[in-house]
Amino acid sequence: MRRKFIAGNWKMNTTRAEGVALATAVANGVGTQADVEVAVCPPSVYLAAVGEALAGSAVGLGAQNCYHEAKGAFTGEVSPAMLVDVGCKYVILGHSERRATFKETSADVNRKVVAALAAQLTPIVCVGETLDERKANRTKAVVREQLEGSLGLLTAEQVVKLVIAYEPVWAIGTGVVATTEQAEEVHADLRKLLETRYTSQVAASVRIQYGGSVNAENAASLLSQPNIDGALVGGASLKAEGFLAIVAAARK
Ligand code: 13P
24-46 pLDDT per residue, tens: 999 999 999 999 999 999 999 99
Q: How many CB atoms lie within 10 A of CB 180?
A: 17
The rounded Å distance from CA 73 to ligand 1 centre is 32
CB 8 less than 6 A from any atom of ligand 1 = no
235 pocket-lining for ligand 1 (C-beta < 6 Å): yes
Q: pLDDT per residue over 184-226, tens digit each?
A: 999 999 999 999 999 999 999 999 999 999 999 999 999 999 9
- Ligand 1 contact, 214 CB (< 6 A): yes
Choice among 37, 133, 167, 184 that is catalytic: 167
Residue 18 annotated in active site: no
What is the secondary structure of 27-69 as a DSSP string?
Answer: HHHHTT--SSEEEEE--GGGHHHHHHHHTTSSEEEEES---SS
CA 13-63-113 angle, 5° bins:
140
Range 142-155 average pLDDT: 98
Calculate the dihedral angle through the C-alpha atoms of 168, 108, 192, 34, rounding to the nearest 10 degrees. Answer: -80
Q: Cα(116)–Cα(152) distance, rounded to whole angstroms?
A: 14
Contact 30, 116 (CB under 8 A): no
| Interatomic CA distance for residues 82 and 150, integer angstroms | 22
Mean pLDDT for 123-152 is 98
The response to whether residue 167 sits with its C-beta less than 6 Å from ligand 1 reads yes
For the question of residue 187 being annotated catalytic, the response is no
Q: Is 211 in the pocket of ligand 1 (CB under 6 A)?
A: yes
> What sign does the CA torsion over 118, 86, 123, 30 have?
positive
Is residue 53 over pLDDT 90? Answer: yes
Q: Which CATH superfamily groups domain 5-239?
A: Aldolase class I (3.20.20.70)
Q: Which residues contact 192 (CB under 8 A, 6 or more apart)?
A: 203
> Is the per-residue pLDDT at 252 higher than 90?
no
Ligand 1 atom 9: residue of nearest CA: 234
> Of 37, 95, 104, 129, which is the active-site residue?
95
Residue 1 has a pLDDT of 81
What is the pTM for the complete model shown? Answer: 0.98
What pLDDT shows up at residue 29?
98
